[in-house]
Amino acid sequence: MQTAVADYHMHSNVSPDGRAPMEDMCLAAIRQGLHEIVLTDHFEMFQPNVPANPYTYSYLENYFDKLNRCRAQYSSQLRIRAGVEMGQSYLDLELEQKILRNLPYDYVIGSVHKLQNIDVGEIDYHTVDLNVLCLDNLEKLYQLADQSDFDCMGHVDLIKRYAARSGIKVNLMDYREQVHRIFKRLIEREKGIEINTSGLRQAAKETLPSFELIRLFYSMGGRILTIGSDAHRPEDVGKGLAAALTIAQEAGFTRLALFENRQPRFLPIP
Ligand SMILES: [Zn+2]
Ligand SMILES: [Zn+2]
């Protein structure tokens, strides 16, 4: 099994759902022998009328304060890239650009976490019309692929994670035409996808997206791929990355993308 050197998706407790300080995430990465990480704390966009929105400009300034402190402390042991996981950024492209033009990010994940302001983790999968939900989610993923500014699309088949918790299996390959349209647009706009390994340690028991989707992306010409644990606590940093490398290779990929100043460089998979 290959050794992974970079974890491109994790959250510190700067994110409302993160569990540990950035320092602890960095120390975990060093313990795991990683050479490079990106701290991709959340920034979520909402449809109007959200009562308390924690995602402010000072929230982002706090992120960079903490990041710079970690860089100063651990630079000899670990490359720490600045990242953000932006949710639903198509809802406010002006705000998205204000953030991305003014702050020195290395890497941006574009994700869809919410449909009509409701987190897909909070949906009751036993009562919802799954077909309607999948089609709505795919439409939002297309909107993201078509309009938003990011480097890689996060966890393409995320709803699988939450449906699986209710014992329900969702396979976006059942919507091949819609997935094809999303991937085509990503490739046209020179954007990538990630292999998010969180699914391996959760009920879904597979990566997000699944092997079939990763292989489809590659077969369509997609060449930009990152791997990330989506760790929200130190114990999960680097988890599943070796398995993701094998999956990437089996899907056809020979290289992984690493990012600096939003520019990819490619690292051969050994
Ligand atoms: Zn996410
Ligand atoms: Zn995440």
- CA of 269 from ligand 1 middle (Å) equals 25
For residue 232, give the ligand nearest its CA: 2
Q: 176-188 and 130-147 helices cross at what angle (nearest 10)?
A: 10
- CA of 197 from ligand 2 middle (Å) equals 11
- CA of 85 from ligand 1 middle (Å) equals 7
- CA of 9 from ligand 2 middle (Å) equals 6
For residues 265 and 224, give the distance between their C-alpha atoms in angstroms, rounded to a whole number.
10
For residue 8, give the ligand nearest its CA: 2
For residues 164 and 207, give the distance between their C-alpha atoms in angstroms, rounded to a whole number.
13
pLDDT value of residue 99: 97
Average pLDDT score over residue span 141-165: 97
2 has pLDDT over 70 = no
% the chain with pLDDT above 90 = 95
218-243 as b/e, with b when 16 or more CB fall inside 10 Å?
beeebbbbbbbbbbbbbebbbbbbeb
For residues 198 and 99, give the distance between their C-alpha atoms in angstroms, rounded to a whole number.
27
- CA of 172 from ligand 1 middle (Å) equals 17
pLDDT digits (tens, 9 = 90+) for 36-69: 999 999 999 999 877 788 999 999 999 999 999 9
- CA of 11 from ligand 2 middle (Å) equals 6
Residue type, 117: N
Q: What angle do CA 227, 230, 232 make, to 5 degrees?
A: 155
- CA of 155 from ligand 2 middle (Å) equals 8
For residues 11 and 31, give the distance between their C-alpha atoms in angstroms, rounded to a whole number.
17
pLDDT digits (tens, 9 = 90+) for 206-255: 999 999 999 999 999 999 999 999 999 999 999 999 999 999 999 999 99
Structure tokens at 38: 């990106």
Residue identified by tokens 């974890």 is 7
Average pLDDT in the chain: 96
- CA of 122 from ligand 1 middle (Å) equals 14
- CA of 195 from ligand 2 middle (Å) equals 12
pLDDT digits (tens, 9 = 90+) for 15-27: 999 999 999 999 9
pLDDT value of residue 220: 98
pLDDT digits (tens, 9 = 90+) for 78-109: 999 999 999 999 999 999 999 999 999 999 99
- CA of 71 from ligand 1 middle (Å) equals 24
Average pLDDT score over residue span 178-204: 98
3 has pLDDT over 80 = no
Domains along the chain?
6-268 (3.20.20.140)
3-state secondary structure 178-208: HHHHHHHHHHHCCCEEEEEHHHHHCCCCCCE
